[in-house]
Structure formats: structure tokens, C-alpha cells
């Protein structure tokens, strides 16, 4: 049995595909997307409140990775575009990406490339880095790094895919990118210099990992022909971005496959080898043991119990069974970080959060018990 490691040592060991003392835990319990849009924006500008929330998570749960997250979905506001939310809308779990949840000051018709071009022409990055939620994020990273120097901190810099999708909606964006890829390339060229500057600022503040490209979405590209066309357009842009981000000082790049990840697991090895992605947070509908084998040592897999099935609706016993199976299949040999499959939903019972942490620390110790390696889905 190895001596107890610091969180930084634990993460770095597993990222080298070696076995640390136990499986690292990533537990993004930051409820900025679980409140009304108005309250979320307000909290997202309050660095003291965000530090307080992260203090709670670190001290109560003993996590190994902190996501320094101020607020998502503020891109339109930051660029001065008008954005109107529905009164009953909660901006969590990517729901904002569905067009009916908000209205831009203009309609973007995915079958009419001219409207997409008009939107892109409106965008002005001049004062983007001065937007309150960005300055808040930088302050949070700096304060948390001073308080927890041995815990890896993850900053966040959205890529052009995510930024444009957050404006027009994922379903619209998928159609727009296939019908008018030249407009996406135009937008990316416009955005990258400003994104690169934000990476430098986050690294200077203390970020060890940069979270980007979190909209490698699955369910919207279940049609393989559409998927392959989109990936063909995305790849050169994303490789350019991750390369420049690392040249700007990012030690590791973490990405996220959202929703139905199963449609993209055959690309995991490519994401690691040629897209320069070090960690892939994989969402629902994936067996993490299979995903790790598909990655073939090219990147570290992050994932765990289902956000809805286990966290929101599951029993503590179901949570424990799921974690034991996932650890047994994906943890041996390092290269795996245990986390929720996606964001933790509102109204998740506290006992399920506690069970997640307790079970992870009990059964995630290396060497992984033989009985976990032999567990099958039929035992759950």
C-alpha cells in the first residue's frame, strides 16, 4: 500500500497511467447552473461566494480536482447581444442549447447561412475579457490556488464550437456547420486570439488544467454521415486550439463528451493522439471500462454514476453498486478519474452525494480489489 498522496500527486500519477494510492475524485458540486438565470448571473459575479462554495466541497468531500467555474452561458451578454430567457427556464445541464429556451435579438435559420453570417458579423470581442464573470473566474482561481496549492485547479476557456453553439443552439448549430462550414471557420478565426489571451490569464492565476471543447456532443450527431462531416470541420480548428493553449502554458487539456457519448467513443484514441486532449470527461450511456479500452492509453477517462439514474433518482445501494462496478472495470492501471457522469442535478438527495464520496474512497484504493475486477453488470 502506497503512502497517502496529495491530490496533485494522485492526479499526476494517474495521468501517467500509473496507479496512485487511490482513484482521484472529481466532484463538480457547484450549483451556479441550478438556480434562476438572474441569480446565477449574480452569483457568477461574486468571487467570494464561489470560493466559499468550493471551500465547502474541498473540506466536506476531500476532492482531488476543483473546477474554477464562475458562470456558463454568458457569452451573448458578454458580447452585447440581447438574450431573453423564458421565465420558467433553469440554465442547467445544457438546456440553454435548445432554441425554445431563449430568444436572440435575431433569428438564426440553420438552412439560411446568411443569418448565421449576420450574427457572426455582430460579434465584437473588444471588451470581452473585462466581462464580470471572466474577471470573477480569474480571481477565484488565484484565491483557491493560494489556499490549496496541492489541489489541481481547472480553469475553463470555451472553444469556438461551444461559443457559437451557445448562441444558436446545438441542434441548429449541427445543421449550420454542415450547410455553411465557412462561417464557422470565420468565427473561429475571429475568436481564437481572444481565447488564447484568456488561457494565459488563467494559467498565470494558477490553473493547472484548462477545460475546453465541452460540446463534443453525442446525441445530436448520431447519424454517422453527419458526425463525420462535423468532425472533419472541427478537427483542424480544435487541434490548432489545443496546441496553442498548451503553448500558452496549459499543462493539461480536459474536454467533455456531452449527452449520448456512445456515438463518439470510437474516436477516443484519436482525440488523445491527434487532438492533444489529455482528459476526456464522458457523460451518459457509456461503459467506462469499454471507453478506457477504446482510448488505448491515449488519454485519461473521467466519468462515473449516471446523473439522473443514480444521483437524482437512485438509492444509496444503487449508487454504491454502480461505483464498485465502474472502479473495477476502469480504474486498474491508472488513467481513470471518478466523477459524476455529468452535472449533479438539482434536488439530488444529500445521501447520494455522501455515498458517492464514501464508496469512492473505500473501494478506490489501489491495488483495486480482485472482486471488483470480476464484477459484471449482471451482478448489479
pLDDT tens per residue across span 164-201: 776 666 666 667 777 778 888 888 888 899 899 999 99
For residues 317-334, average pLDDT = 95
Cα separation values, 157 from 134, 188, 197, 212, 337, Å: 10, 14, 10, 5, 21
The domain that holds 184 is classified in CATH as 3.20.20.210
> What distance in Å separates the CA atoms of residue 107 and residue 110, rounded to the nearest whole number?
9
Chain centre distance of CA 200: 19
Whether residue 335 is contained in a domain is answered as: yes
What total number of domains does the chain contain? 1
What was the pLDDT predicted at 146?
97
> What distance in Å separates the CA atoms of residue 208 and residue 254, rounded to the nearest whole number?
11
Whether residue 1 is contained in a domain is answered as: no
Placement of cell 472541427 in the chain: 234
Q: What mean pLDDT, rounded, does the chain reach?
A: 82
pLDDT exceeds cutoff 70 at 4: yes
28 close to 34: Cβ distance less than 8 angstroms? no
> What distance in Å separates the CA atoms of residue 277 and residue 53, rounded to the nearest whole number?
28
Whether residue 360 is contained in a domain is answered as: yes
> What distance in Å separates the CA atoms of residue 17 and residue 226, rounded to the nearest whole number?
34
What was the pLDDT predicted at 96?
39
Whether residue 99 is contained in a domain is answered as: yes
Mean pLDDT check: name the lowest of 39-43, 121-125, 281-285: 39-43
Cα separation values, 163 from 75, 88, 191, 214, 356, Å: 7, 23, 9, 10, 32
pLDDT tens per residue across span 110-157: 567 777 787 788 787 888 788 777 888 899 999 999 999 999 999 988
pLDDT exceeds cutoff 60 at 84: no
> What distance in Å separates the CA atoms of residue 203 and residue 169, rounded to the nearest whole number?
30
pLDDT tens per residue across span 210-226: 998 766 665 556 678 87
Mean pLDDT check: name the lowest of 6-15, 32-41, 123-132, 257-266: 32-41
> Which residues is 154 bridged to in the sheet?
67, 209
pLDDT tens per residue across span 101-113: 444 444 556 567 7
283 preceded by cis ω (within 30°)?
A: no
Whether residue 116 is contained in a domain is answered as: yes
Q: Are strands 336-338 and 102-104 parallel, antiparallel or unpaired?
A: unpaired
330 close to 289: Cβ distance less than 8 angstroms? yes
242 close to 299: Cβ distance less than 8 angstroms? no
Tell me how many degrees the CA angle 336-340-341 measures, rounded to the nearest 5: 85
Whether residue 203 is contained in a domain is answered as: yes
pLDDT tens per residue across span 241-272: 999 999 999 999 999 887 778 888 899 999 99
pLDDT exceeds cutoff 60 at 321: yes
> What distance in Å separates the CA atoms of residue 7 and residue 343, rounded to the nearest whole number?
21
Cell of 131: 466581462
What was the pLDDT predicted at 290?
93
For residues 60-81, average pLDDT = 73
What was the pLDDT predicted at 109?
64
For residues 322-332, average pLDDT = 95
Cα separation values, 202 from 173, 236, 263, 365, Å: 28, 24, 32, 32
What was the pLDDT predicted at 1?
43
What was the pLDDT predicted at 88?
41
Which domain does 52 fall in, by range?
A: 7-379
Whether residue 248 is contained in a domain is answered as: yes
What was the pLDDT predicted at 91?
39
Cell of 314: 437512485
Higher pLDDT, 345 or 291: 291
Whether residue 105 is contained in a domain is answered as: yes
Higher pLDDT, 241 or 39: 241
pLDDT exceeds cutoff 50 at 90: no
Amino acid at each position: 500500500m502506497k503512502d497517502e498522496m496529495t491530490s496533485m500527486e494522485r492526479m499526476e500519477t494517474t495521468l501517467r497511467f500509473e496507479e496512485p494510492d487511490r482513484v482521484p475524485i472529481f466532484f463538480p458540486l457547484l450549483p451556479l447552473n441550478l438556480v434562476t438565470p438572474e441569480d446565477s448571473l449574480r452569483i457568477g459575479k461574486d468571487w467570494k461566494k464561489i470560493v466559499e462554495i468550493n471551500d465547502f466541497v474541498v473540506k466536506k468531500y476531500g476532492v482531488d480536482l476543483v473546477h474554477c467555474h464562475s458562470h456558463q452561458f454568458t457569452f451573448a451578454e458578454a458580447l452585447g447581444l440581447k438574450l431573453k430567457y423564458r421565465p420558467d427556464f433553469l440554465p442547467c445541464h445544457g438546456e440553454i442549447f435548445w432554441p425554445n429556451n431563449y430568444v436572440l435579438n435575431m433569428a438564426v435559420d440553420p438552412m439560411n447561412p446568411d443569418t448565421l453570417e449576420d450574427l457572426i458579423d455582430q460579434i465584437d470581442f473588444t471588451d470581452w475579457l473585462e466581462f464580470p464573470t471572466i474577471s470573477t473566474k480569474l480571481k477565484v482561481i488565484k484565491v483557491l490556488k493560494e489556499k490549496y496549492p496541492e489541489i489541481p485547479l481547472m480553469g475553463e476557456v470555451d472553444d469556438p464550437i461551444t461559443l457559437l453553439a451557445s448562441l444558436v443552439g446545438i441542434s441548429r448549430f449541427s445543421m449550420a456547420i454542415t450547410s455553411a462550414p465557412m462561417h464557422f471557420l470565420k468565427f473561429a478565426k475571429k475568436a481564437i486570439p481572444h481565447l488564447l489571451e484568456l488561457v494565459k490569464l488563467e494559467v498565470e492565476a494558477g490553473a493547472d488544467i484548462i477545460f475546453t471543447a465541452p460540446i463534443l456532443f453525442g446525441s445530436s450527431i448520431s447519424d454517422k454521415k453527419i458526425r463525420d462531416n462535423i468532425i472533419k470541420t472541427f478537427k483542424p480548428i480544435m487541434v490548432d486550439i489545443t496546441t496553442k493553449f498548451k503553448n500558452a502554458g496549459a499543462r493539461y487539456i480536459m474536454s467533455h463528451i456531452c449527452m449520448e457519448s456512445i456515438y463518439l467513443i470510437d474516436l477516443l484514441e484519436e482525440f488523445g493522439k491527434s487532438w492533444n486532449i489529455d482528459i476526456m470527461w464522458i457523460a451518459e450511456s457509456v461503459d467506462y471500462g469499454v471507453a478506457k479500452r477504446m482510448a488505448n492509453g491515449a488519454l485519461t477517462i473521467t466519468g462515473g454514476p449516471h446523473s439522473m439514474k443514480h444521483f437524482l433518482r437512485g438509492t444509496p445501494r444503487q449508487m454504491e453498486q454502480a461505483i464498485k462496478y465502474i472502479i473495477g472495470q476502469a480504474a486498474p492501471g491508472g488513467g481513470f478519474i471518478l466523477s459524476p457522469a455529468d452535472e449533479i442535478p438539482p434536488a439530488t438527495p444529500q445521501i447520494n452525494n455522501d455515498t458517492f464520496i464514501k464508496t469512492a474512497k473505500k473501494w478506490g484504493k489501489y491495488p483495486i480489489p480482485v472482486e471488483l475486477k470480476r464484477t459484471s453488470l449482471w451482478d448489479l
